Amino acid sequence: MRVQYNEDLKKLNDMLVDMGNLVEISLEKSKKAFKEQDKTLAEDIVRGDQSINNLEHDIEALCFKLMLRQQPVATDLRVIATALKVVTDLERIGDQAADISEMSLSFNGKYPYKTVEHIPTMMKVCREMVHEAIRAYVTKDLERGKRADAMDDQVDVLFSEVKAEIVAILKEGKENIDDCLNYLIIAKYLERIGDHATNIYEWLEFLMTGEIEDTQ
């Protein structure tokens, strides 16, 4: 019985790795689609989000099976509970990557992405942050998780800089207001991606220490 249980726990970790890989690929593609105004790639990302959603459901089903059939002890229960939380954050990151791609389609391949210089940088930092947070979680590496968490400050600074850039562009009156608003929405999606990566680190911290950080 315990052998099967351990195999299922390993399967759970492997599935989280797979889902993390899909999310990272989606983020990388969304960055490329935005930068190159690639409509075909953007549409592919939107369609591919279903694969992430399907894997989320499979992981949830496995977690519930483990809880109902195996009656896990406290330590194992934390593994399962944090997996359920992490998979939610991963799914939302995937959703936001798809949302960014959908927003990119609204520019019709014509909007000059360099107008707002900090968005590509913000995309790069978010991609790195998510990668580090996922790897930290699956390898149970708290120090790596802390490095990922620290990157959220950089994301927040970049978000503020994007907002300042957009205000300056609007004051010049040279760009379409709707396009500028779309840029702002994309930046907000990226800021939320950073928040979800931070959540993953915090769930790793709970998994390893049994303590939940007080954010109040």
pLDDT in tens, 154-187: 999 999 999 998 888 888 876 678 888 888 999 9
Q: Which domains does the chain have, with CATH numbers?
A: 2-209 (1.20.58.220)
pLDDT at 56: 96
Residue 20 has pLDDT above 80, yes or no: yes
Which of 13-22, 27-36, 128-137 is the least confident region? 27-36
More confident residue, 67 or 188: 188
Report the pLDDT value the prediction gives residue 112, as an integer from 0 to 100: 53
Closest CA to 126 of 60, 196, 179: 196
Q: Read off the pLDDT of residues 95-114 as tens digits, 9 standing for 90 and up.
A: 999 999 988 888 765 655 55
Rounded to the nearest 10 degrees, the angle between the axes of helix 74-105 and helix 177-209 is 170
DSSP states of the chain: -HHHHHHHHHHHHHHHHHHHHHHHHHHHHHHHHHHHT-HHHHHHHHHHHHHHHHHHHHHHHHHHHHHHHH---HHHHHHHHHHHHHHHHHHHHHHHHHHHHHHHHTTTT-S-GGGSTHHHHHHHHHHHHHHHHHHHHHHT-HHHHHHHHHHHHHHHHHHHHHHHHHHHHHHHT-S-HHHHHHHHHHHHHHHHHHHHHHHHHHHHHHHHHS------
Q: Per-residue confidence at 124, pLDDT binned at 50, 70, 90?
A: very high
Label residue 12 by pLDDT band (50, 70, 90): very high
pLDDT at 148: 95
Q: Give the model confidence (pLDDT) of 192-209 as tens digits.
A: 999 999 999 999 999 999
